[in-house]
Amino acid sequence: MTDFNSLVTSIHETNSTLQQSASKAINRYLTIRNWLIGFHIVEFEQNGEDRAEYGQRLVDELAEVLATPGLGARNLKVFRQFYLAYPQIVQTLSAQFKGLSSIRLNDLTARLNTVNYVANEPGNKFSIDAEILLSRLSFSHLALLLPLKEPEKRAFYERQCGASQLTRL
């Protein structure tokens, strides 16, 4: 019976460990997906004067045309806000998407590198490293912090959320 109990324990541990790893990977990719969608929306809005007035209807029209669960107008607005609040996530993109040619990483990286990221400037003491954000917080956590406009308040809660996640790991 001892051998059987060891087998059950091994299977439970394997299942639990790999299920947690898969869940973390899914959360990470969804967070990056949401950031990239926000990037595409902002880039479109800022690419030409004629699009500025169109930007008022852009998210609603996008949601209607996309007609995809999870990509409704409300979420698209949140993704846009997420991109603007967390520009430092760009730091992790090339490592995340190596070998994924469908993303057209070279084109995307070239476009991202032309953007001025205030969060990456040396004087910004409130910027949280992108890798820490992505490894410790889910998009749901980050979305809850978006209404905080003051960078120091957001950074405080990011650290608090990250610290509470560390105790669970």
Which string of b and e fits 42-56 if b means at least 16 CB within 10 Å? Answer: beebeeeeeeeeeee
Whether 44 maps to a domain, the answer reads: yes
Whether 159 maps to a domain, the answer reads: no
The amino acid occupying position 113 is N
Whether 135 maps to a domain, the answer reads: no
pLDDT, tens digit, for every residue of 70-107? Answer: 999 999 999 999 999 988 888 787 666 665 555 555 56
Task: Classify the C-alpha dihedral 149-42-106-104 as positive or negative.
Answer: positive
Whether 59 maps to a domain, the answer reads: yes
Whether 27 maps to a domain, the answer reads: yes
pLDDT, tens digit, for every residue of 99-137? Answer: 555 555 556 666 666 554 444 444 455 567 888 888 888
Q: How far apart are CA 27 and CA 96, in angstroms?
A: 13
Query: Would you state the pLDDT for residue 22?
Result: 95
Whether 133 maps to a domain, the answer reads: no
Whether 29 maps to a domain, the answer reads: yes
The amino acid occupying position 85 is A
Global pTM value: 0.77
| Residue in this structure with the two tokens 């299920």, named with its chain if needed | 19
Count of domains for the chain: 1
